[in-house]
Amino acid sequence: MKPRTVKYLLPAFEYQMGQLRVKQPFPTQKVDYPDPFLLLHHARVKVNPDVNTRLQGVGPHPHRGFSPVTFIFEGGVHHQDSRGNNSVIYKGGVQWMNAGMGIIHSERPPSDIFERGGVQEIIQMWVNTPSVSKMKQPEYHAFAEDEIPTWQNPERKSLVKVFSGEVMNLIGPVPTPVPINSATIYLEEGEQLNLPLTENHEAFVYLLDGEVTIKGFGIVAGENALFFNQDGEGISMQANKDTRILFMSGLPINEPMASQGPFVMSDETQLLEAMRDYRMGKMGVLIED
């Protein structure tokens, strides 16, 4: 397998997002929106035992025109939205929402978070959708850890869990508006992984922690993202320490895009319409349990 070369190395800088402090490798001044990917937030939060969990996390807020996706690495997330979806997904699962024409949702720690260690660690990805899908009906897909296809090295502890698309010859259960491959990778120290990539896909890995050596590039530590050129068949890496990784690849949409806050549309007029529709209540109402 000919490995792809590295296009960008993007360190994750810390930002304050409402009540949360998050690590964000992109977008940055260096790299805006690596089509079809818009944003990555990595958060690890100790939930406050003195505050009701219903008042923590992220309260009701709107989205239109893209897919907010939450991968859960520790603890859990209680999702509620204005379309009546209400579910809790724990460590190892995913919540994938195609916001479409508009939806309001909240993401709180579950009420039993302290029975599970009191820590919530997630990555939220924003993935763009093509203009033809931006005003479709919203969809919410939630899958628990035991519903996710998993590849395991029979001789080591390493795992690849596939959420969408095809990775390591496994098909993920999440339907996506554009072709998106997504997986979490757990590499044991000393193990090498050759990860085949889909031709014409924009591809990246984000290291939550640990350290790997990327063939043809060098050592990369945790809390860094790597984007790859489309000049090879895959990614070849070896873990120098136990390492957790988010891998995603997607077919670029190659369409005009305009974004403002929680809305990602095709032009400025559509953004103004999204703001108006939200104020008029056209994205529904969320009254949390």
pLDDT band with cut points at 50, 70 and 90 for residue 3 = very high
Return the closest-CA partner of residue 65 out of 238, 277, 230: 277
**Which pLDDT does position 129 carry in this prediction?**
97
What gap in Å lies between CA 131 and CA 243, rounded to an integer? 37
The residue type of 256 is: P
The residue type of 19 is: Q
Q: Which long-range contacts (CB under 8 A, 24 or more apart) does 112-116 make?
A: 112/76, 113/47, 113/53, 113/75, 113/76, 114/47, 114/49, 116/75, 116/76, 116/90, 116/91
| CATH number of the domain located at residue range(s) 6-279 in this protein | 2.60.120.10
Q: Out of 12-21, 87-96, 190-199, which region has the weakest mean confidence (pLDDT)?
A: 12-21
159-187 residue pLDDT tens: 999 999 999 999 999 999 999 999 999 99
pLDDT band with cut points at 50, 70 and 90 for residue 153 = confident
Neighbours of 219 (CB within 10 A): 10
Q: Are 163 and 143 in contact (CB under 8 A)?
A: yes
Cβ-based neighbours of 58, under 8 Å, separated by 6 or more: 18, 19, 20, 106, 107, 108
For the stretch 66-98, what's the b/e string if a residue is b when 16 or more beta carbons lie within 10 angstroms of its beta carbon? Answer: bbbbbbbbbbbbbbbbbbebeebbbbbbbbbbb
Cβ-based neighbours of 84, under 8 Å, separated by 6 or more: none
What gap in Å lies between CA 127 and CA 146, rounded to an integer? 24
Q: Are 139 and 101 in contact (CB under 8 A)?
A: no
Domain spans in the chain, listed from the N-terminal domain onward: 6-279
CA 211, distance to chain mean position in Å, is: 20
78-112 residue pLDDT tens: 999 999 999 999 999 999 999 999 999 999 999 99
**Which pLDDT does position 18 carry in this prediction?**
73
**Which pLDDT does position 16 carry in this prediction?**
87
What gap in Å lies between CA 272 and CA 275, rounded to an integer? 5
Residue 113 — φ and ψ, nearest 5°? Answer: -60, -35
Q: Are 236 and 214 in contact (CB under 8 A)?
A: yes
Question: Residue for token digits 């519903």?
Answer: 147
Question: Residue for token digits 């596939």?
Answer: 162
Residue 29 — φ and ψ, nearest 5°? Answer: -65, -30
